[in-house]
């Protein structure tokens, strides 16, 4: 077995290939979706049928179809195969991009964006990743996908204005279709074929667990958080390009010069805050601080200040808070979801995220038509206040973490007996045994967890890794 420089088990060449290829597919989709964010609200004003409401609907409608189809597509892939469903999803995404590119009215773009969202294969890509990685390496592979999504968002926000100046928004939609087809090429040329397809409770939604997840108050707080986060983001991109143009004369084609240093600064500022929260078990405090910062930034936007020298640092604050919250929320879901329910919890979380995109677009557009830009940003201020109230009851995860281990010597024991033996180990807070996957999912207190005792119980099975 290969190991890294620290002596820990490392990704095999096949796992690295799978992780990088699937991350590439994710990135190619995200690039196309996000490139129109910084340019669309100004471009769409001149289209037949364009009103603030229809512009907001065009920007957010893909979130509705994503929210509705994310979990069903994942379940469908269990029946007919991951590769087939990803193929169908990418073709739908490409078709929606072509429809939007060919449209000369806002209504055609709305239809195209809805069809883009119908290619809801994010959960299927994660399931395929789980099929192609070992239990103790899955977290590393998922982290590669997570980083690729963050980088894609940053690159898209900078690249959108650049491409807009050369090929226009229609050209960006054509480029998005090409990127989707490149994703198909990567799927068939670079993604390995798994030996078998299995259900992975730590990565996939289980229908039987949906009711229990939807009753969990801690998870619902986080679901509302990601809903609010992306509703605010979509509403912000409805109003911010217009605010920058009207207040400082900054044209859409010039926005890349603002977003590039802003996003770079936000990442630099975010990292030490995340490290502080993790090392000192103060993640909830950092989390609440980021919500407050995000709300204050929206308040400044709502007040309509016209100085670019003031707007730029406020935009830095907003994106620092956004990046911090975006990276913290999945970690909190992983830690606070009951053992064996992480995949289901993440499915509901993802649907909440996409529904937030839809609501942010529609509500932002309606408010802009009635109250102008202050209404759009005021909506985000209200969302931040509600989010703050909801988060007050969130449990601080402290030193809790999730682990996935191979059952090893316990694989032939009854699930209840295996779970009780693992639960007896010091530092283990909760256990769910998944016999169909040959794994156990643990919640542990990392300060007290007796990992050697677990290794001994499992017959020197590979060491548990954070999930």
pLDDT in tens, 152-178: 988 999 999 999 999 999 999 999 999
Alpha-carbon gap, residue 226 to 316, rounded angstroms: 20
The residue ranges of every structural domain in the chain are 11-204, 207-398, 400-466
**pLDDT at residue 267 above 70?**
yes
Better-predicted residue by pLDDT, 305 or 122: 122
- Tell me how crowded residue 269 is: count the other CB atoms within 10 A of its CB: 16
Identify the bridge partners of residue 431 per DSSP, sorted by sequence position.
442
Q: What local confidence, expressed as pLDDT, does residue 465 receive?
A: 46
Does position 461 have pLDDT exceeding 70, yes or no? no
Average pLDDT, stretch 214-230?
95
Phi, psi values for residue 459, rounded to 5° = 75, 45
Q: Note the pLDDT tens digit of each residue in 409-440.
A: 888 888 888 888 888 998 888 888 878 777 88
- Residue 28: is its pLDDT beyond 50? yes
Q: How far apart are CA 66 and CA 122, in angstroms?
A: 9
Count the residues in the chain: 467
* Cα–Cα dist 361/106, whole Å: 14
| pLDDT single digits (tens) 108-144 | 999 999 999 999 998 899 888 888 887 767 777 877 8
DSSP assignments along 401-423, one per residue: EEEEEE-GGGTTS-HHHHHHHHH
What is the pLDDT at residue 308? 82
Round to whole Å and give the CA distance between 314 and 294: 9
Helix, strand or coil, per DSSP, at residue 339: coil
For the domain made up of 207-398, give the CATH fold.
Growth Hormone; Chain: A; (1.20.1250)
pLDDT tens digits for range 444-458: 888 888 888 888 888
Q: Where are the alpha helices (DSSP H) in 280-341?
A: 283-302, 308-336
Q: In whole angstroms, give the CA distance from residue 235 to residue 358.
A: 10
Cα 191 to Cα 17, 129, 213, 386, distances in angstroms: 7, 9, 32, 42
pLDDT at 201 over 80: no
Q: What is the mean pLDDT of residues 232-261?
A: 87
Write the pLDDT tens digit of every residue in 309-355: 889 999 999 999 999 999 888 888 888 888 888 888 989 999 999 99
Closest by CA to 230, choosing from 156, 144, 329, 315, is 329
> How is domain 11-204 classified at the CATH fold level?
Growth Hormone; Chain: A; (1.20.1250)
Mean residue pLDDT across the chain: 88
More confident position, 115 or 203 = 115
Cα(261)–Cα(16) distance, integer angstroms: 31
Q: Fold match between 11-204 and 400-466? A: no
Compute how many other C-beta atoms are within 10 angstroms of the C-beta atom of residue 290. Answer: 24
pLDDT of 133: 84
Burial class (CB in 10 A: 0-12, 13-18, 19+), 412: exposed
Q: Is the model's pLDDT at 7 over the cut of 70? A: no
pLDDT above 90: percentage of residues in the chain: 53
Question: pLDDT class for 460, splitting at 50, 70, 90?
Answer: low
- Name the fold adopted by 400-466: Alpha-Beta Plaits (3.30.70)
CA angle at residue 343 from 337 to 347, to 5 degrees?
100
Residue 463: pLDDT over 60 = no
Q: Which residue has the tokens 């694989």?
A: 411
* DSSP class per residue in 340-386: T-HHHHHHHHHHHHHHHHHHHHHHHHHHHHHHHHHHHHHHHHHHHHH
């Amino acid at each position: 077995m290969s190991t890294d420089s620290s002596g820990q088990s490392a990704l095999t060449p096949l796992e690295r290939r799978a992780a990088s290829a699937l991350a590439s597919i994710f990135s190619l989709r995200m690039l196309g979706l996000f490139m129109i964010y910084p340019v669309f609200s100004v471009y769409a004003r001149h289209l037949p049928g364009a009103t603030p409401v229809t512009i907001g609907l065009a920007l957010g409608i893909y979130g509705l179809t994503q929210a509705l189809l994310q979990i069903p597509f994942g379940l469908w892939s269990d029946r007919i195969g991951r590769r087939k469903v990803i193929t169908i999803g990418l073709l739908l995404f490409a078709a929606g991009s072509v429809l939007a590119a060919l449209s000369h009215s806002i209504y055609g773009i709305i239809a195209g964006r809805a069809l883009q969202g119908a290619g809801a294969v994010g959960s299927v890509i994660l399931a395929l990743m789980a099929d192609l990685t070992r239990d103790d390496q899955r977290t590393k592979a998922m982290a590669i996908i997570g980083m690729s999504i963050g980088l894609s968002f940053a690159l898209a926000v900078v690249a959108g204005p650049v491409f807009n100046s050369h090929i226009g928004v229609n050209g960006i939609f054509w480029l998005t279709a090409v990127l989707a087809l490149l994703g198909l090429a990567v799927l068939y040329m670079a993604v390995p074929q798994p030996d078998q397809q299995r259900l992975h409770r730590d990565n996939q939604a289980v229908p039987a667990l949906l009711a229990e997840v939807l009753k969990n108050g801690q998870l619902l707080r986080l679901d509302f958080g990601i809903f609010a986060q992306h509703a605010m983001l979509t509403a912000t991109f409805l109003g911010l390009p217009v605010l920058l143009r009207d207040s400082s004369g900054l044209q859409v084609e010039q926005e890349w010069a603002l977003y590039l240093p802003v996003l770079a600064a936000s990442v630099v500022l975010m990292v030490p805050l995340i490290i502080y929260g993790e090392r000192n078990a103060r993640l909830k405090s950092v989390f609440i601080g980021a919500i407050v910062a995000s709300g204050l930034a929206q308040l400044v936007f709502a007040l309509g200040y016209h100085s670019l020298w003031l707007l730029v640092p406020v935009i830095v604050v907003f994106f620092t808070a956004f990046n911090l919250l975006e990276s913290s929320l999945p970690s909190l879901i992983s830690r606070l979801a009951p053992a064996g329910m992480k995949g289901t919890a993440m499915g509901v979380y993802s649907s909440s995220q996409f529904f937030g995109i839809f609501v942010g677009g529609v509500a932002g557009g309606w408010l802009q038509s009635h109250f102008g830009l202050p209404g759009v940003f005021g909506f985000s201020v209200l969302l931040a206040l509600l989010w703050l109230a909801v988060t007050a009851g969130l449990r601080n995860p402290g030193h809790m973490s999730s682990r996935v281990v191979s059952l090893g010597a316990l694989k032939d024991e009854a699930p209840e007996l295996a779970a009780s033996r693992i639960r007896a180990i010091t530092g283990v807070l909760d256990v769910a045994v998944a016999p169909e996957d040959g794994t156990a999912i643990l919640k542990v207190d990392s300060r007290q967890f007796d990992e050697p005792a677990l290794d001994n119980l499992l017959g020197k099975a590979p060491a548990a890794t954070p999930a």
